[in-house]
Amino acid sequence: MNYEESQSIVRLSDSEFEFIVQFVSDHYGIDLSKKRRLIEARLASELKSLGFDNYSQYIALLKKDPNSEKVDNFINKITTNYSYFSREADHYDFLGKKIIPALINEKRRGIKVWSAGCSTGEEPYNIAMAIDSALGSQRSLWNVTISATDVSTRALNIAKEGVYPEAELKAMPENWKKNYMVKQDDGNYRVADSIRKNVSFSRFNLMSPVLQKNYYDVIFCRNVMIYFKPATTQSIVKKFYQATADNGYLFIGHSETISRLDTEYTYISPSIYRKVTK
Ligand SMILES: C[S@@+](CC[C@H](N)C(=O)[O-])C[C@H]1O[C@@H](n2cnc3c(N)ncnc32)[C@H](O)[C@@H]1O
């Protein structure tokens, strides 16, 4: 934010701040109770574009229709969509070196993965790359489906586009960059069609009921629940457990933990859990 923008920030009153914290926690699970300055900074341009000079008009709008496009814009501003290729790459190693070989051994011919809180798409595309490179010559025999969901429509639009600046690819293994990313005339990289076709993007709020039961072989939900209160995390992990297929896995972010007392998942290693059923 530049000097001019910081001068145009409108301060929240205590009651306005409390309303926004409660609204976001109730609808999206995100805990903003210690993020007063962040809310003010991120909403400054939104207030300006709507021609409002205070938050009471803005809050009236959120209250009037919690499902309107204005609320979409609000959630696009309030969420943190930071992501990059090969983030916490040991999870892709585990997928490619442990999970896929085990499924091959079981004579399986397909895998269903959910990237929950996929942000701008790097994670689900990386999952598709890890699976593709692990399957090698068997790839054409397999049905690979990766459902990638997020609550931010702005992040999902970038994800669907699938075009990234080279700086985003810094940590990606060279052979993946070569095989799965296509350099564009403008220097950006586009995810190859062979990878894109495995990934479908849709808007989904993790506070909603999860309809799939005993379904996903692997769920990734990394660096999403760090923004939630422990009780919210606990109820979402419960939904993940129901949605995980027998002997399937849950990956969470490296800085996150799930208390053994709060989950039926079996702890495998830091940030990797399994629904062990036999
Ligand atoms: C920091 S990004 C993590 C992206 C990726 N998983 C990674 O580890 O790089 C967190 C994402 O969670 C999404 N998110 C936050 N609350 C959510 C909710 N209630 N439902 C779905 N997605 C949510 C945000 O929109 C954001 O894109």
pLDDT exceeds cutoff 70 at 185: yes
Mutational test site, ligand 1, from 38, 118, 150, 255, max ligand atoms within 8 Å of CB: 150
Question: How far, in Å, from the CA of 232 to the mean position of ligand 1?
Answer: 14
The per-residue pLDDT for 246 is: 97
Cα 210 from Cα 78, distance rounded (Å): 23
Confidence of residue 151 (pLDDT cuts 50, 70, 90): very high
Q: Answer whether 3 contacts ligand 1 (Cβ < 6 A).
A: no
Strands (E), the chain: 110-116, 143-150, 163-164, 181-183, 189-191, 199-203, 216-221, 244-252, 266-269, 272-274
Q: Answer whether 79 contacts ligand 1 (Cβ < 6 A).
A: yes
Mutational test site, ligand 1, from 85, 87, 151, max ligand atoms within 8 Å of CB: 151
Question: How far, in Å, from the CA of 79 to the mean position of ligand 1?
Answer: 7
For 10, the token pair is 């409108």
The sign one gets for the Cα dihedral 233, 103, 211, 87 is: positive
Q: Answer whether 117 contacts ligand 1 (Cβ < 6 A).
A: yes
- In the chain, what percentage of residues exceed pLDDT 70? 97
Mutational test site, ligand 1, from 76, 92, 118, 119, max ligand atoms within 8 Å of CB: 119
Cα 77 from Cα 199, distance rounded (Å): 25
CATH topology of domain 90-274: Rossmann fold (3.40.50)
Q: Answer whether 221 contacts ligand 1 (Cβ < 6 A).
A: no
Atom of ligand 1 at shortest range from CA of 30: 16
Q: Which residues contact 25 (CB under 8 A, 6 or more apart)?
A: 31, 32, 33, 229, 232
- In the chain, what percentage of residues exceed pLDDT 90? 85
Question: How far, in Å, from the CA of 251 to the mean position of ligand 1?
Answer: 14
Atom of ligand 1 at shortest range from CA of 206: 20
The per-residue pLDDT for 5 is: 54
Question: How far, in Å, from the CA of 114 to the mean position of ligand 1?
Answer: 13
Cα 265 from Cα 277, distance rounded (Å): 10
Q: What is the mean pLDDT of residues 183-204?
A: 98
Confidence of residue 241 (pLDDT cuts 50, 70, 90): very high
Q: What is the mean pLDDT of residues 226-238?
A: 95
Report the catalytic residues. 42, 150
Question: How far, in Å, from the CA of 80 to the mean position of ligand 1?
Answer: 7
3-state helix/strand/coil string of 146-176 = EEEEECCHHHHHHHHHCEECHHHHCCCCHHH
Give yes or no for a contact between 173 and 86, defined as CB atoms under 8 angstroms apart: yes
Q: What is the pLDDT of residues 35-84, one digit of tens each?
A: 999 999 999 888 888 888 889 988 998 888 877 888 899 999 999 999 99
Q: What is the pTM of this model?
A: 0.95
Pick the residue whose CA is nearest to atom 26 on ligand 1: 81
Q: Answer whether 156 contacts ligand 1 (Cβ < 6 A).
A: no
Question: How far, in Å, from the CA of 263 to the mean position of ligand 1?
Answer: 21
3-78: CATH number: 1.10.155.10
Cα 278 from Cα 250, distance rounded (Å): 17
The per-residue pLDDT for 67 is: 76
Q: What is the pLDDT of residues 84-116, one digit of tens each?
A: 999 999 999 999 999 999 999 999 999 999 999
Q: Are strands 189-191 and 216-221 parallel, antiparallel or unpaired?
A: unpaired
Q: Answer whether 85 contacts ligand 1 (Cβ < 6 A).
A: no
* Domain coordinates in residue numbering, the chain: 3-78, 90-274
